[in-house]
A and B are shown apart, each in its own frame.
Chain A
Amino acid sequence: MANQGPAYYSPYPAAVYEGVITPPEGKALLLETVVDEEVAMREIAKVMLTKENATIFPGPQVLYGYNEEAKKKATLIKEMAEVLNAKMIPMYDYRPKYPKIDAEVEINPNHPNLTIWHNNIKAAIFIGVHCHYANVALKMVRCETDCYTVAICGLSGHEDAMATLRDQHSSELEKFIKIAREVKSELKL
């Protein structure tokens, strides 16, 4: 069972307690380093294209068509999955489902490690998940698995992910998909 996190079975130290906080506006985080958004996008694409069982975890904010932006994002995420050769496992809602969760078809923020362990996922993108639940999940994934986590966030980003982009709306997702296509071509995949 994977256990490459810094503290194994405890989510402490959380990244904040190691001096890492969300990136400033216009920037992104790669591990502990603040970088330009495009640098992070290229690294994220490379990781997703080269790690085993790369998976996108779309959350409620992009799973339900409650406004036009959500619908547009959902379409782009499908395109993103195709470009990255990634699977998709949705996070429909946030109620704990242990022990009945079907880890093949669903991930839950209260026990995200079950889905990652079961599906042997080595890289994952969280997108459209409300920030608190993303952070609760990311801390657990960080400590209990060796999954490279990416948070693509419409707000301030997530320092507990290994890579995070902030203020990501549909125009930024289009930019990411374009960069991912370039990286895929460079890697001859």
Chain B
Amino acid sequence: MSRITDMTDTHNWSGQKLVTADHMLFDAPREKHFMTGSEVLKEAIKRCTVDASVSYPITPQSEAAHLIGELWAEGYVGTYFRGENEFGVMSEVAGCAMAGARTVTTTSGPGTLRAMENFPQWSGTRIPCQLVLMARGINSPLTIQPDNLEVSFMLETGCMIWYAENVQELFDMSIAAFIVAEKPDVHVPIVTVVDGFFVSHTRESVMLPADDIALFPYEPYKSPLPPIDSETPPGRFLRDPFVMKSNYISYATHASWQWEVRSAVERSRPYAEHFLNGLVHTTGNEDATIAFVTCGTASHQAKEAQRDLEKQGIKTKVIKLRTIRPFPTKELLAALDGVTDVFVPEFNVVGWLEKEVKTALYNKHSAAIVGGPRVAGGMSMPSEAIQKEVFEHINGKGA
């Protein structure tokens, strides 16, 4: 079993050489592998000197939590245990992180909602844990198809939200996520989202650095709140209590505290810019007047539609949002320069990304914004469905 006392200045408890995130993500040589999203998440966690992971691995959505458990058995993860349910898991994640542990868990779908109360509590206590959300929808009858409705419930929790398109992005993002979340002026939880099934279960080519290197450990004494440590002032077995009195003073604290959590998310921008190589990625025809604004695997489908439309002489481009919180308004506006028509294809039924895009562009950009297509999980999003949306809009009537 792993022990923190086995750490040295140069190597972690499992004997991996400690390296910076820049070395891990940009400089270390990589080799090609063929893996599912769940498997590649295991490989990412293996290289992150993770102190603790808590799981409730009943979901059929992904094997990720189970595979992180294997890492514990292999000596790469400090401690690993199962919660009694999803609420318990997220509460235990909070406890681990408050005590100074680099902590990760995974969830998806209804489990996310069962644990919901914990997420704003995580951000309010400024813990830098990572939740890998392999989105699968929350509706009944249950689905394991690639819906992503639960992301809409996470938007206002005060957590950062990043969205990976594919297996490669999941690997790189989930490593960078720890580093950005742990920056002292950020230090809020991070939710790394992928669309379940497409990414969690699909095997893709992925470039990985060697597994004999790992990130330097988390430094809890740089936390913006004191970690739970009775030896370090102000010594605590619990965090200082939140203010619950109903008076003017508690209002001021409550208000300031909330703005501080949101400010912390905003402070992540320059770090995310560096590690993600920009908060948005644009592909396709740079001078196109039609743009798809997407995240996750909808980006992949939109790129296919972009190529198909180009063959028909219609120029388009795909603007993939890599962060949802903070929302990349400035970068989106720059990418939309010259665009007259925006389409927002989504896998969910409510169109939460369309609402985000409309909010960001309101009174700032004159493009028409079309929410669709929305396939509401349960099916793929073929290029033809996206093209149909474009033709219907351009023709101004039904196709």
Binding site for B on A (CB under 8 A): 9-12, 14-17, 21-22, 24, 60-61, 63-64, 66, 92-96, 98-99, 110-111, 113-114, 130-133, 135-137, 139-140, 144, 155-157, 159-160
Please determine whether B240 and A136 come into contact, CB atoms closer than 8 angstroms: no
Please determine whether B243 and A96 come into contact, CB atoms closer than 8 angstroms: yes
Please determine whether B256 and A131 come into contact, CB atoms closer than 8 angstroms: no
When the two chains form the complex, which single residue of B184, B225, B234, B247 contacts A93, counting CB atoms closer than 8 Å? B234
Distance, CA A111 to CA B260, complexed state (A):
15
Contacts of A99 in B (CB 8 A): 249
Please determine whether A156 and B233 come into contact, CB atoms closer than 8 angstroms: no
The interface-forming segment of B29-37, B74-82, B199-207, B263-271 is B263-271
Please determine whether A14 and B249 come into contact, CB atoms closer than 8 angstroms: no
When the two chains form the complex, which single residue of A60, A111, A139 contacts B234, counting CB atoms closer than 8 Å? A60
Taking the nearest CB of chain B, how far is it from the CB of A43, in angstroms? 22
The yes or no answer to B294 lying at the interface (CB within 8 A) is no
Please determine whether B126 and A136 come into contact, CB atoms closer than 8 angstroms: no
Taking the nearest CB of chain A, how far is it from the CB of B88, in angstroms? 26
Distance, CA A151 to CA B373, complexed state (A):
50
Taking the nearest CB of chain B, how far is it from the CB of A49, in angstroms? 29
CB-nearest residue of chain B to A101: B249
Q: 1/0 per position for B237-256, CB-CB distance to A under 8 A?
A: 00011010101011011011
Could you jot down 29 A-B contacts, CB within 8 Å?
A9-B252, A10-B255, A11-B256, A11-B259, A14-B260, A14-B262, A16-B262, A60-B233, A60-B234, A61-B233, A64-B233, A92-B234, A93-B234, A94-B234, A96-B249, A98-B249, A110-B249, A110-B252, A130-B223, A132-B260, A135-B256, A136-B256, A136-B260, A140-B252, A144-B252, A155-B184, A155-B222, A156-B184, A156-B185
Please determine whether B249 and A21 come into contact, CB atoms closer than 8 angstroms: no
Contacts of B256 in A (CB 8 A): 11, 135-137, 139-140
Contacts of B222 in A (CB 8 A): 155
CB-nearest residue of chain A to B226: A130
Please determine whether A11 and B267 come into contact, CB atoms closer than 8 angstroms: no
Please determine whether A135 and B224 come into contact, CB atoms closer than 8 angstroms: yes
Contacts of B267 in A (CB 8 A): 16, 21-22, 156
Contacts of B232 in A (CB 8 A): 66
Taking the nearest CB of chain B, how far is it from the CB of A93, in angstroms? 4
Please determine whether A111 and B252 come into contact, CB atoms closer than 8 angstroms: yes
Contacts of B26 in A (CB 8 A): none
Do A133 and B252 form a contact, CB below 8 Å, given A14-B259, A21-B266, A64-B233?
no
Contacts of B184 in A (CB 8 A): 131, 155-156
Contacts of B252 in A (CB 8 A): 9, 11, 110-111, 113, 140, 144
User: How many of chain B's residues touch chain A, expressed as a range?
Assistant: 20 to 34
Contacts of A140 in B (CB 8 A): 252-253, 256
The yes or no answer to B46 lying at the interface (CB within 8 A) is no
Taking the nearest CB of chain A, how far is it from the CB of B151, in angstroms? 24
Most chain A CB atoms below 10 A, which of B184, B252, B267: B252
Name the interface residues of B177-235: CB closer than 8 Å to any CB of A. Answer: 183-185, 187, 222-226, 231-234
The yes or no answer to B257 lying at the interface (CB within 8 A) is yes
Contacts of B269 in A (CB 8 A): 21
Contacts of B126 in A (CB 8 A): 132
Please determine whether A133 and B225 come into contact, CB atoms closer than 8 angstroms: yes
Distance, CA A39 to CA B384, complexed state (A):
60
Contacts of B225 in A (CB 8 A): 130, 132-133
Please determine whether A136 and B257 come into contact, CB atoms closer than 8 angstroms: yes
Distance, CA A92 to CA B233, complexed state (A):
9
Which 6 A-B pairs rank lowest in CB-CB distance, beginning with the nearest? A64-B233, A131-B224, A132-B224, A156-B185, A16-B263, A155-B184
9 new A-B pairs (CB below 8 Å) besides A12-B259, A15-B263, A135-B256?
A11-B255, A17-B259, A21-B266, A63-B233, A64-B233, A111-B253, A130-B223, A139-B260, A156-B183
Contacts of A160 in B (CB 8 A): 263
Please determine whether B253 and A136 come into contact, CB atoms closer than 8 angstroms: yes
Taking the nearest CB of chain B, how far is it from the CB of A61, in angstroms? 8
Contacts of B255 in A (CB 8 A): 10-12
Contacts of A64 in B (CB 8 A): 233-234
Distance, CA A22 to CA B225, complexed state (A):
18
Distance, CA A16 to CA B243, complexed state (A):
24
Distance, CA A110 to CA B241, complexed state (A):
11
Taking the nearest CB of chain B, how far is it from the CB of A77, in angstroms? 15
Please determine whether B185 and A157 come into contact, CB atoms closer than 8 angstroms: yes
Please determine whether B259 and A139 come into contact, CB atoms closer than 8 angstroms: yes
Contacts of A136 in B (CB 8 A): 253, 256-257, 260
Contacts of A98 in B (CB 8 A): 245, 247, 249-250
Distance, CA A10 to CA B248, complexed state (A):
11
Distance, CA A61 to CA B126, complexed state (A):
18
